[in-house]
Amino acid sequence: MCSRGYRPMSLAMKSPHSLRILAIVAVLIPWLLHADWKATKKIAEREHVALEEVATAYAMQRAKETRDNPLEIAYTGDDHQLLVKVGTREAIIDGARHWLSFPVQLHEGEPFVATLDVKTTLAPAFDPTSVKLPGPVRTVVFDPGHGGYDKGGRSAYGYEKDYTLDLVNRTRRILEKREVKVVQSRLSDFFATLAERPAMTRNYESPIFISVHFNSAEWRPSAQGIEVYAIPPLGCPTTGKAPDAILDRRESEGAEVEPASFVLADTLHHTLLGRTGSFDRGVKRARYAVLRHCEVPAVLVECGFLTNPVEARRIHDPEWREKFAEALADGIEAYLDLAASKKSPPRVADFDRPATDTFVTE
C-alpha cells in the first residue's frame, strides 16, 4: 500500500534548525501520546483509543482508496502502514500480520483499538527501538522442539524432532561463524522436559531463548506458513482464544519480559517472511510452558507445516533448511543489533517482499 494525499514538505525546503526540531518532535509525539492517549473511550468494559489518534502519532492518514470490505480500514504514511478489520483481532502492521489481544471496535462510526493493544502491540511494532530491552545479548539458547520418545509432528518424509534438531544445528553453525555464542537444549535425539528447556538459560550470560518447531494441522492440509509466538501481556488472552479471567491474569516469569519477547518475535517474523517468502500467519501470543517459565526474552517459531504436502517436501529438502537457517540467523542478528545499539530491525519492505494485505481467520 502506498500513501495518497499526505506528503511532508521536501527536506530541502527546511532549515537545519527546523530539521532538528522535527527530529525531536518525531521522537516525542509517539511517546507523549503513549503516556496519555486523549481519545479514550470505555467500550466493552475496556479502555480504547481512537485509531485516528494512533495513526496521527505515527504520521499516517486514513487511506482514501476504498477497499471491497468497508470493515477493512487502512492508514498509510511515508514510514508506516496499518490495516485492520473491525470486529477482529487481526492487524497488519508495516506489512506483516499481527494478532491483537482484543477486537477492533466501532464507536459512533469510528474505529477504536484497546489501549492495552496500542501499548503492547502497535507501539512496539511501529517502533521496536522504543522498548527497553535487557541489554546486549551474550548467548543464544536454542530449543529444538521435541526429541527422544516425543517425535512431534510427522510428514510423509519424517518426524518433527529430526527437522528441528537439523535446523537448529545449521543455524548454530552460521551464527558461530559470525562469532555469536550459541547453546542448545539438546544436541541429539533425547527428550528434555518442558521445565528443563527454559531453565537452562539461567546458566548463561544475557541470553535469549528460541524454541524451534514445525506445525501440523491434519484437519486442514492446506494450512501453511510461518508464525512466531511470544507470551501474551498480563491480562490478555492467547491468540485465537476468548479472554479467561483467571488464566490471563496468572503471573509467570515470562510475563516479566513480555515487551522484549514481543520485539524479538516481531524482528524474527519480519526477517523470516522477507527472506523465505513463506505465507504470513502472524506474530501470535501463547502461554506455552517454555515461554511462561523463561526469565529472558523468549519466542517459539513455527517454521512451516508438516501436514501441507508442498511445505512438507520443502522441509525435507536440506537445501531449503539451510536457507531457512540463514534467514533465522539473520533475524537473530537483527535483534542482537537492536539490543546492543538500538539499530532498527529490517521490515518486510526492506526485503522487497509485498506487504501482507489480506485477512485470514484466527
Report the distance separating Cα 239 and Cα 265, nearest Å: 14
Please, are residues 96 and 280 in contact by the beta-carbon 8 Å criterion? Answer: yes
Q: Does residue 75 share a domain with residue 198?
A: no
Report if residue 356 sits inside a domain. Answer: no
**pLDDT (tens digit, 9 = 90+) per residue, 129-168?**
999 999 999 999 999 999 999 999 999 999 999 999 999 9
Which amino acid would we find at residue 158? G
Domain limit, last residue, from 126, 149, 175: 126
pLDDT at residue number 346? 98
Report yes or no on 175 lying in a domain: yes
How much is the pLDDT for 29? 42
- Pick the last residue of a domain from 126, 161, 193: 126
Residue 6 resides in a domain:
no
DSSP 308-358: SHHHHHHHH-HHHHHHHHHHHHHHHHHHHHHHHH-PPPP-GGGGTPPPP--
Burial (0-12, 13-18, 19+ Cβ within 10 Å), 167: buried
pLDDT of the chain, 362 residues: tens digit per residue? 333 222 232 323 334 444 344 344 444 444 444 456 776 889 989 999 999 999 999 999 999 876 788 899 999 999 999 999 999 999 999 999 999 999 999 999 999 999 999 999 999 999 999 999 999 999 999 999 999 999 999 999 999 999 999 999 999 999 999 999 999 999 999 999 999 999 999 999 999 999 999 999 999 999 999 999 999 999 999 999 999 999 999 999 999 999 999 999 999 999 999 999 999 999 999 999 999 999 999 999 999 999 999 999 999 999 999 999 999 999 999 999 999 999 999 999 999 999 999 999 86
* Residue 290: partners with Cβ closer than 8 Å, 6 or more residues away: 143, 194, 197, 198, 209, 211, 298, 300
pLDDT confidence of residue 214:
98
Domain total in the chain: 2
Q: Are residues 262 and 321 in the same domain?
A: yes
CATH (domain of 231): 3.40.630.40
Q: How far apart are CA 205 and CA 134, in angstroms?
A: 11
Residues 248, 143 share a domain: yes
What is the CATH number for 82?
3.30.457.10
Q: Is 327 contained in some domain?
A: yes
Q: 112 and 147 share a domain?
A: no
Do 147 and 107 have their domain in common?
A: no
Structural domain contains residue 42? yes
pLDDT digits (tens, 9 = 90+) for 215-250: 999 999 999 999 999 999 999 999 999 999 999 999
Q: Which domain holds residue 24?
A: 11-126
Q: Residue 354 and residue 351: Cα distance in Å, rounded?
A: 9
Phi first, then psi, for residue 183 (nearest 5°) are -130, 165
Are 144 and 284 found together in one domain? yes
Domain shared by 252 and 225, yes or no: yes
73 lies in the same domain as 161: no
Cβ–Cβ < 8 Å for 322, 163: no
Q: CA-CA distance, 236 to 150, in Å (whole number)? A: 30
Residue 173 lies in a domain: yes
| Pair 316, 309: CB distance under 8 Å | no
Q: What is the pLDDT, as a whole number, of residue 36?
A: 65
Same domain, 158 and 244: yes
Per-residue model confidence as pLDDT tens digits over 38-47: 768 899 899 9
Q: Is 178 in the same domain as 86? A: no
Among 101, 126, 151, which residue terminates a domain?
126
Instruction: Assess whether 103 and 201 both reside in one domain.
Output: no
5, part of any domain: no
Q: What is the Cα–Cα distance from 13 to 59, expressed in whole angstroms?
A: 19
Strand order in the sheet with 61-62: 61-62, 72-76, 81-85, 90-93, 96-99, 280-285, 226-230, 298-305, 207-215, 139-144, 182-184
**Residue 235 DSSP SS3:** coil
Residues 122 and 169 in one domain: no
**Is there a domain that residue 225 lies in?**
yes
- Would residue 152 be called left, alpha or beta, if left means φ above 0 and alpha means ψ between -120 and 50 degrees? left
pLDDT at 70: 86
The H-assigned helical ranges of the chain are: 16-35, 51-57, 115-117, 123-126, 160-177, 196-199, 258-276, 289-292, 309-316, 318-341
The C-alpha cell of 5 is what? Answer: 494525499
